[in-house]
Structure 1
Amino acid sequence: MVKIEESKNLGSAVLFGNIAIFIVAIISSLFFSLLLSFTSLQEASLQHVITAVSFIALFAGGFIAGGKGKQKGWLLGGITGLLYSLIIFLFQYLGHDRLFDMEQIIYHTCYILICMMGGILGVNVKGKSS
């Protein structure tokens, strides 16, 4: 019975982490699209900023997952990042009939790693305050 509750807790932590990632992604996408529409900025000039916001969103998602799970932060962060990458891959493959190219594979590997780091930090920060 303990294993079922533990897996539900880990599953909800991963779910909350991914929800946080997608909320930040949606808000930042709206902000950047409005910025690009109503100013003379070009997308190429914001590429590094958009990448940084993506990494921050995944770190925050891993942090939230680790904080909610309260244990195994590297695993929670890794699963959160992996689920995020899987959702993006499925959207791209099923919606646009394209696989990841090498650049995207590198980005998503880094996303998973940064999400793992967020999960580790989330467990450690939440564990000390409890």
Structure 2
Amino acid sequence: MKIGAQKYSIGLVYGLGVIFVLLAISSLVISLILRFSDMTEHALHTAVTMISFFSLFLGGLVGGGKGKKKGWLLGSLTGILYTAIVFLVQYLGYDELFTVKQAIYHACYIVAAAMGGILGVNLFSGRSRES
């Protein structure tokens, strides 16, 4: 395996790890809120959506920061791998395909992760730009 490919795969693993850890923590918090309050799932829909976008953005940011190059590619691949994992769980576990609404959400998740990857490379690359 080349050094560049190794950096990219490490970036992808870290990015996916950040996404799943953030989503697990937020799921725990939201489930505790639902359990011990009078709130309904419908009332938290917007918060859950924002948390999902933020998690994918941060996952792309970490992935791009670890990869140091081609943040758009690392972020996009991070979002695509996340979407593929969610799709496989839904299809193999629940025997359901994505709805149109879910497909749109996941396309936007991939874009959010790509934006995070671009920002991650620019923030963490360590190179200074001279005018």
Write the mapping of 1:23-38 to structure 2, written as runs, cut at 5 A: 23-38=21-36
Q: What is the aligned partner in structure 2 of residue 117 from structure 1?
A: 115
Cα deviations across residues 25-56 of structure 1 (Å, max 9, x unaligned)? 00000000010001000010000000000000
Structure 1 residue 99 and structure 2 residue 79: aligned?
A: no
Cα distance in 1, alignment partners of residues 11 and 42 from structure 2: 35
CA distance in 2, matches of 1:82, 1:28: 21
Q: Work out the number of aligned pairs and report it.
A: 128
2:75 to 65, 74, 77: 77
Relative to the length of structure 1, the TM-score reads: 0.96
Percent of pairs identical after alignment?
Answer: 48
Q: Deviations over 1:50-109 (max 9, x none)?
A: 000000000000000000000000000000000000000000000000000000000000
Q: Secondary structure at 2:39's aligned position in 1? A: coil
Report what 2:57 is aligned to. Answer: 59
Consecutive unaligned residues in structure 2, runs of 5 or more: none
Name stretches of at least 5 consecutive residues in structure 1 with no aligned partner: none
Query: Distance between the aligned counterparts of 2:73 and 2:127, measured in 1?
Result: 21
Please state how far the C-alpha of 1:128 moved relative to its aligned partner: 4.3
Q: Name the Cα RMSD after superposition.
A: 1.2
Q: Report SS of the residue matched to 1:99.
A: coil
| 2:19 alignment counterpart | 21
CA distance in 2 between counterparts of 1:42 and 1:104 reads: 21
Q: Does 1:9 pair with 2:4?
A: no
The structural deviation recorded for 1:129 is 6.5
Measure how far apart 1:4 and its partner are: 1.1
Q: What displacement does 1:127 show?
A: 2.1
TM-score by length of 2: 0.95
